[in-house]
Structure 1
């Protein structure tokens, strides 16, 4: 075997792809694409292994040999160089923010909506403990996080934050960064409490009053918010599916909205028929969007290009005299109307469809729910024409009040 020289390395890097041995397990690897790099091959526990040392541009031949010799010494001392490299990466985790980044990397691969724990962490957890060392976080810090969220009247978020804290610090235990999980002893009773399933749906009379109030409070409840709520009641889609929609999904001439699978919570794409009333509102929104790619562009300077996830709920809550973070709450403008959230508008759509006589299986497909039981397995008919007729009937009922 001919040992490499600096000149030979330079020639090999410019030549044909391949692996070229230098001895002692050190190889120069020239890939078909990308930068050439140094690689070390060795045997540990009767298994052949290979690890990348560094790009050739960053490590000279002499330094590569020295690095390879160091790794081989680790092996003779009983430590697998690959394991030592991984441990060194974990040793670089000094703050909870860095711990979260390592934990969230797994969430991106594992969770469909990995942005949800990221949002809760950035908004509610990081401000309290983000810059602390994981080993310095105590139960008092976890209590403070939960207390802040509960006081802002977000019990569901408090429960989510507790779950993410437990998972985050379990990850720290796996990495030998801590020996005790500071969130372990807390339960939902310490956070938002046991959540009851909501069954709130607005009656037609309530809906009439609500949209009248929306119009009267147009200084605080914007036209974008108004039209978003109107479309949610008419089309029955989920909030994020609408507020994050792009104009490329809409075909106004054919009166169809194509919701792609990657944006559909059900994971299944669907063509949504658009009644003339929806087209009328969308035409207005097209003008209001001022050339944006999004139907509901963010009106404030933000990294998020579309309407924020909490915008509608916060706007509605404010009309009810609820504004998180304020010592003095605003006046309740909604009178004796019972409190509701944005998701309740979707439930209201379902209730109204039933009230005007739309068959259950058609109404369920209007909400992009998968049909259950035998019908869901064998009936792949999408009921587009039936959904179109149902939404047109609902539009006629809603048009006088919205």
Structure 2
């Protein structure tokens, strides 16, 4: 069939497609006096129609369609199903490290308890250096540069976690036959700042007073919301994300109870008593949250709605002069004699302060949302709610004056 006959058939065709010859067909589109090129072929006893790539007739000429069809027919002779090959190639190709991470994270997020954690490590620690590199082009020197940079920032635990992530990514690439190399394989925990060590850092009341004064004096850098967060972490001994992700519907202020439920590391149901002394802080947070469902809403556009997990880390890092932002800050806390501490050290600090105030035993164990160990933990179902309320009240009475917050007013 020639071009003139094809055009005539398009106008008069009453079927879904018509035969042009040599296995070529056209599926007419009468509105534009053209149609899609199709190739009919048989493979493994199955007869199929395949639309040729790109434009149809008349943009793709009869000669061009025949040439493309000839190439496809040769593939079929070699046992390759062109439709199956096209489907495989249409899937997102994994070329760069960004492609690799996205493919790995898509699967891992179904299994991981906290999928945002490796996402954060990758975006902050890996992507800026090798995200756009081809997987095959990443070298061991790139891996070393990444973990050395984190070590230089003084956070070896994050260096270890990032190295572990890189090893998993390249193992995923090996599994998919993208590469047989793993440039992270030769590195171990000693390269990433050493094996993790149990920390014993806890702040004294004196250090807390100095720390809070430095934060107040530099509130434009640290921010007032972060300041309120720090105070609550010291008093309640919470894990950071229990507060940063807290919603107002978890709080019953008619009973002064925070129902954290199982939204905690131990996934054990717990209700946290709120002492009256701390209520001014919650009233101020409520006002500052401007109607958000979260106590601490995101300060930039975010799909999470609450502040980033690293917001408070970065704010505290600035106070110690860590390289966490484009602008370099002096070691404001260190210059006042405060030894470096992390946010999780505040949880240990809370435990230490309670011991200093004379509180020990199961009520403190439950105050920190730890499980009571041994046989006592099996049979003792009492939750020490009122005892914990007394503990929180006592600690608040010691901390709030240091924070310059009047427990009888709405603002500090």
The TM-score with structure 2 as length reference comes to 0.74
Distance in 1 separating the partners of 2:368 and 2:40: 61
In structure 2, list runs of 5 or more residues that go unmatched: 1-37, 50-74, 404-412
**CA distance change for structure 1 residues 365 and 95 in 2, over 3 Å: closer, same or farther?**
same
Q: Conserved in 1, the CA contact under 8 Å of 2:317 and 2:324?
A: no
Q: 1:382 is paired with a residue of what secondary structure? A: coil
Q: Conserved in 2, the CA contact under 8 Å of 1:96 and 1:132?
A: yes
Higher-Rg structure is 2
Q: Deviations over 1:133-181 (max 9, x none)?
A: 2222221221222233233333222211110010110011111111121
Q: 2:272 is paired with a residue of what secondary structure? A: strand
Does 1:229 pair with 2:230?
A: yes
What residue number does 2:317 align with?
317
What residue number does 1:252 align with?
253
Does 1:387 pair with 2:379?
A: no
What residue number does 2:400 align with?
399
Distance in 2 separating the partners of 1:230 and 1:398: 8
Distance in 2 separating the partners of 1:325 and 1:314: 8
Q: Conserved in 2, the CA contact under 8 Å of 1:354 and 1:360?
A: no
Superposition deviation, residue 324 in structure 1: 2.9
**CA distance change for structure 1 residues 326 and 147 in 2, over 3 Å: closer, same or farther?**
farther
For this pair of structures, how many residues does the alignment match?
Answer: 342
Q: 1:189 is paired with a residue of what secondary structure? A: coil
Distance in 1 separating the partners of 2:129 and 2:176: 22
Q: 1:271 is paired with a residue of what secondary structure? A: strand
In structure 1, list runs of 5 or more residues that go unmatched: 1-61
My pick for the range that moved more, 366-375 or 317-326, is 317-326
Distance in 2 separating the partners of 1:115 and 1:79: 41
Q: Deviations over 1:357-398 (max 9, x none)?
A: 223211111111122222223323222222122212222232
**CA distance change for structure 1 residues 64 and 345 in 2, over 3 Å: closer, same or farther?**
farther
What residue number does 1:112 align with?
113
Superposition deviation, residue 320 in structure 1: 2.5
What residue number does 1:35 align with?
none
Distance in 2 separating the partners of 1:254 and 1:64: 74
**CA distance change for structure 1 residues 130 and 221 in 2, over 3 Å: closer, same or farther?**
closer
My pick for the range that moved more, 325-334 or 290-299, is 325-334
CA RMSD in angstroms, aligned pairs only = 3.4
What residue number does 1:206 align with?
207
What residue number does 1:3 align with?
none
Superposition deviation, residue 221 in structure 1: 2.4
Q: Conserved in 1, the CA contact under 8 Å of 2:321 and 2:328?
A: no
Distance in 1 separating the partners of 2:172 and 2:383: 43
Distance in 1 separating the partners of 2:213 and 2:328: 26
Distance in 2 separating the partners of 1:78 and 1:356: 80
Q: 1:399 is paired with a residue of what secondary structure? A: helix
What residue number does 2:194 align with?
193
Distance in 2 separating the partners of 1:232 and 1:64: 69
Q: Deviations over 1:310-346 (max 9, x none)?
A: 2222222222233335585425344112111111111
Q: Deviations over 1:189-243 (max 9, x none)?
A: 2223223211111111212222222222223222211111111111111111101
Q: Conserved in 2, the CA contact under 8 Å of 1:90 and 1:175?
A: no
The TM-score with structure 1 as length reference comes to 0.75
Q: 2:103 is paired with a residue of what secondary structure? A: helix
Does 1:164 pair with 2:155?
A: no
My pick for the range that moved more, 294-303 or 230-239, is 294-303
Distance in 2 separating the partners of 1:186 and 1:194: 12
Does 1:332 pair with 2:332?
A: yes
Distance in 2 separating the partners of 1:366 and 1:64: 73
Q: Deviations over 1:5-38 (max 9, x none)?
A: xxxxxxxxxxxxxxxxxxxxxxxxxxxxxxxxxx
Q: 2:259 is paired with a residue of what secondary structure? A: strand
Does 1:176 pair with 2:195?
A: no
Distance in 1 separating the partners of 2:296 and 2:179: 44
